[in-house]
Amino acid sequence: MALGASRGSVLQLVMGQGLRLVLIGLAIGGVAAVALSGTVRALLFATEPRDAATFAGVALVLAVVALIACFLPARRASSVDPLVALRGE
């Protein structure tokens, strides 16, 4: 922001970097969960090992939590006064 970036662009940058990692993690975790779902068959009650609704629900909850976890630092980073930040360095 000290070099002319707007608050919106800083928010977009921080959220974009965080969400990119979230999407990569969800993709890798989804593939691993499908691949390893047969190994926990004996531990599951009232659900199938490859239940699509369960996978989608868990992915949705994780995505929402990750959005909040990305948004809070992004909002804080976009609200920092550039002069205060430069003096602190």
Tell me, yes or no, whether 55 lies in a domain: yes
Tell me, yes or no, whether 19 lies in a domain: no
Give the pLDDT of residue 61.
97
Tell me, yes or no, whether 6 lies in a domain: no
Mean pLDDT of 39-61: 86
- Statement: residue 58 has pLDDT above 80: yes
Tell me, yes or no, whether 54 lies in a domain: yes
Give the pLDDT of residue 3.
65
Tell me, yes or no, whether 3 lies in a domain: no
pLDDT in tens, 69-87: 999 988 887 887 777 777 7
Backbone angles phi, psi at 4, to 5 degrees: 110, 5
pTM for the full model?
0.74
Sequence-ordered list of residues with C-beta below 8 angstroms from that of 13, at least 6 positions apart, any chain? 5
> Which amino acid, 66?
A
The CA distance from 20 to 67, in Å, is 11
CA atoms within 13 A on the CB side of 25: 12
Q: Give the domain extent around 73.
A: 24-34+48-78
How many structural domains compose the chain?
A: 1
Tell me, yes or no, whether 69 lies in a domain: yes
